[in-house]
């Protein structure tokens, strides 16, 4: 019976992880796409990145300062959502790891 409980918890945690990851990735995509479509001049100043280069451009300190000057409310709202969902995903991972470590220590003693 104990193995079934662990398996159920593992599946539940895995599903929550997948859902939070999907939310974070879709928010990130919407944010990048909004900058590309609503602010084409900003997109061009970022070098019009494609594919896997897009997230790295948004992490560059120089280009990040450029993004902070954006005043478009739609893009700003999507940026906030992107940052919020990313933090939520990371917090879930951290809390899950901490609970797993504590659970394993308790089980071992």
Q: Give yes or no for residue 3 having a pLDDT over 80.
A: no
Number of domains into which the chain is organized: 1
- Domain boundaries, position 11: 2-108
Predicted TM-score of the model (pTM): 0.82
pLDDT tens-digit readout, 44-69: 988 888 888 888 888 888 888 888 88
Burial of 82 (0-12, 13-18, 19+ CB in 10 A): buried
Q: Give yes or no for residue 77 having a pLDDT over 90.
A: yes
Burial of 70 (0-12, 13-18, 19+ CB in 10 A): middle
């Amino acid at each position: 019976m104990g193995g079934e409980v662990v398996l159920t918890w593992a599946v539940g945690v895995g599903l929550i992880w997948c859902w939070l990851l999907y939310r974070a990735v879709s928010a990130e995509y919407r944010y990048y796409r909004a900058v590309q479509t609503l602010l084409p001049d900003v997109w061009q100043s970022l070098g019009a990145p494609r594919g896997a280069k897009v997230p790295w451009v948004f992490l560059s300190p120089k280009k990040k300062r450029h993004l902070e000057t954006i005043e478009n409310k739609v893009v700003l709202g999507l940026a906030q959502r992107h940052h919020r969902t990313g933090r939520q995903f990371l917090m879930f991972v951290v809390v899950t790891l901490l609970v797993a470590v504590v659970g394993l220590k308790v089980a071992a003693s």
